[in-house]
Structure 1
């Protein structure tokens, strides 16, 4: 995947004494804005949904494999095996993609904490406002709640309305799995928005409170 380098960490304390304070504050403002955009930007939200879509595609292949196996037909067994291989072939890269994104999010959060610790700049409140990103946090929260609610509805509705003889186990497992993917994706998005909001309150809202590095 194409990757852009992240902003550097702030200079150590023993070096900052030799640097121009205005230049350090300018770097802080620029990097807080950049890191805030990369943490909660619309592109990050779309990336999370893209990963969920890839998981859903892989699970669709697995669901087709389950439904093919339930027919107990030799040719269907062959197609089921093909679908199962395709499903695993999609789910494994999706898992690596998700792990890569989670690792990158942790790096971004550490850099945000480090730059926020340099101190507040009363002359440039816009930089801290960009890092807090209240509008983006609310966007993540609302869309994630809607996605999680849709996932729960799909999961429980498919399980509750299934009837023996009309719906196969493969069909129910396929629909429940898709609902769980939506639900988990929504929980991840809402959790990220909540964690960023708590961090922003500690980093910028409390003044003397130290940023939370564990979020």
Structure 2
């Protein structure tokens, strides 16, 4: 986490170096997808500690339509840098201000998102093979690992992970979850055939604390470890 944070601050410094060359003090727009999420809140607070320029802050939640205050702030105000925390914030910025310099962080599987020449970002994700080799080192006899995921967010990531799993001698048994309320039902489909469950950071699965607890309890009843 510390390494990722330092890299983020370094990228911000480089981006702002070009902005500071102008006579006027730069205006920075900070968009947070959901400030109630702890890691998003921490990212916002830590960023503000490292910057001395004027920052305008918005949380995406509650703003809809092209007549909203947020839309006007993004598309009409002369912000030279937009820092986006989370997927919703990034998609909002790239849609309404694709010509501006955009920096993102805290996004899962960022490769699936639209990008541009003025887009920069920090990935906090470890390569899937690193996770899989770690699992194999801890539990050498593991053959089949289950994964619950949403097609919209992690289908591409899962395809790459399955290729990496072969290198580690592991078979991934996946089940797409069509709706958050169907997580338990989806888990029951794969439980009989797995040795462990890989609980990936998919918003469809982990955005609800109740959901996560239910998944862990179901695996515990079957004596199936959860990574």
Q: Give TM-score, length-normalised by structure 2.
A: 0.25
| Bigger proportion of residues as strand | 2
| Higher-Rg member (1/2) | 1
Q: Give TM-score, length-normalised by structure 1.
A: 0.26
Which structure exhibits the higher relative contact order, with contacts defined as CA atoms closer than 8 Å and separated by 6 or more residues? 1
